[in-house]
Amino acid sequence: MALLFMCDGEASEPWRASLCNEIPDLDFRIWPDNIGNVDEIDIALAWQPPRGALANFSNLKFILSLGAGVEHILCDPELPKSVRIARLIEPGLRTGMVEFVTMEVLRYHRRADEYRFQQSDRKWKLLRQTLSQDRRVGILGLGYLGAACGDMLRRFGFSVSGWARSAKTLPGIDSFYGEDGLFSLLEQSDILICLLPLTSETEDILDATTLGALPRGAVLINVARGKHLVDDDLIIALDSGQLSAATLDVFREEPLPFEHPFWMHPKISLFPHAAAWTLPESASPVIADNIRRCRAGEKLIGEIEVKRGY
Ligand code: NDP
Ligand code: OXD
């Protein structure tokens, strides 16, 4: 039994060291140069594995995602049918996402960019301050990350609402669900944060209709996936003033192509998929726990429903 590490461009050594520290007898193989006997591979630990690659391992039983999302695995048309898949649930990702989202919400809330512009004109002028309780933040996706971001923002005093597939009871967060729930949430979101998984149901969810349902001048923060957003519809919403700004951390194509209009748009703040990283030092204990569960035939932490897509 062996684990195959599949992550292009990622330094495998820190992962090997960290996981072997947790499981000293772990047989750690590295794709594509150190695979060994393919029949011995039963677990793949993967981030964006090339399409078709996983089909080469006839004894593969488990795929552990190196990220919270699993769409990069499920999009493979040759994905082995009976394999069990887990997304990553780990505290480092959660902390990173909470920090990033809070940073961006506070930046808009406290009008930091406007003060920056004033500085470049040597302009000394106080801008009206809004109480956090009067700023309404809506979160699409109230899972591991969305709920944690909501909890931090409500502690800052923001009026926080969220939307999920199922009804939620979260302290201090108004919960909406279903199609009607989506528009009720949008109508009352001065700042909208997207933390949904990418599935057939959520692809293109941020389009002219949903962006148009937000209060005029709202802000969008998309930290989920680029395919949630219809790029042209965002540009129209920003140029018309329907939205006042957007923070984008994820894109349909990554890296974002050089010629893409998002790069130079004055109302867009852009990050290179940097909101929350999976670091071996925080993720390895959880991954090691899941490796042990695979081998013991137990339910995995973060095991997904393939049909549901997350
Ligand atoms: P979870 O699976 O824990 O949460 C997903 C949430 O979305 C759940 O509340 C779920 O509802 C809701 N949801 C799913 N489908 C629908 C739907 N059709 N309608 C309404 N709600 C829906 O995921 P995480 O919180 O761990 O991660 C969310 C996403 O964040 C990841 O999939 C990834 O794409 C992105 N991400 C981005 C990172 C970055 O650096 N930019 C880093 C890490 C993650 P319910 O609770 O009812 O099931
Ligand atoms: C993830 C990501 O899904 O980093 O974890 O995007």
Determine the Cα–Cα distance for residues 242 and 163; give it in Å rounded to an integer.
Answer: 21
Confidence bin at 11 (pLDDT 50/70/90): confident
Q: Does ligand 1 have an atom closer than 6 angstroms to the CB of 45? A: no
Inter-residue contact 28 to 5 (CB < 8 Å): yes
Q: Which two tokens stand for residue 42?
A: 């039963």
Looking at the structure, do residues 16 and 115 belong to the same domain, yes or no?
Answer: no
- Is residue 302 one of the residues assigned to a domain? no
Q: Which two tokens stand for residue 115?
A: 């003060």
Residue 243 lies in domain: 93-270
Q: Which tens digits make up the pLDDT trace of 209-247? A: 999 999 999 999 999 999 999 999 999 999 999 999 999
Q: What is the mean pLDDT of the chain?
A: 97
How many C-beta atoms lie closer than 10 Å to residue 132's C-beta?
18
pLDDT of residue 244: 98
Closest ligand to residue 66's CA: 2
pLDDT of residue 22: 98
**CATH number of the domain that residue 45 is part of:** 3.40.50.720
Closest ligand to residue 205's CA: 1
Q: Please name the helix (run of DSSP H) or strand (run of DSSP E) that holds residue 6, with its range, or none.
A: strand 2-7
Looking at the structure, do residues 79 and 179 belong to the same domain, yes or no?
Answer: no
Phi and psi at 240, nearest 5°, equal -85, -10
Inter-residue contact 94 to 145 (CB < 8 Å): yes
Q: Which tens digits make up the pLDDT trace of 95-125? A: 999 999 999 999 999 999 999 999 999 999 9
Average pLDDT rounded to a whole number, residues 181-207: 98
Average pLDDT rounded to a whole number, residues 11-32: 96
Looking at the structure, do residues 205 and 264 belong to the same domain, yes or no?
Answer: yes
Q: Is 216 annotated as catalytic?
A: no
- Is residue 182 one of the residues assigned to a domain? yes
Looking at the structure, do residues 150 and 37 belong to the same domain, yes or no?
Answer: no
- Is residue 59 one of the residues assigned to a domain? yes
Q: Is 265 annotated as catalytic?
A: no
Side-by-side strand order, sheet with 28-30: 28-30, 2-7, 41-47, 62-65, 84-86
- Is residue 228 one of the residues assigned to a domain? yes
Looking at the structure, do residues 177 and 224 belong to the same domain, yes or no?
Answer: yes
Top mutation candidate among 66, 173, 185, 196 for ligand 1, by most atoms within 8 Å of CB: 196
Number of domains within the chain: 2
Looking at the structure, do residues 59 and 134 belong to the same domain, yes or no?
Answer: no
Inter-residue contact 253 to 231 (CB < 8 Å): no
Give 119 Cα–ligand 2 centroid separation in angstroms.
Answer: 35
Looking at the structure, do residues 201 and 258 belong to the same domain, yes or no?
Answer: yes
Q: Does ligand 2 have an atom closer than 6 angstroms to the CB of 197? A: no
Give 302 Cα–ligand 1 centroid separation in angstroms.
Answer: 12
- Is residue 288 one of the residues assigned to a domain? yes
pLDDT of residue 8: 78
pLDDT of residue 10: 66
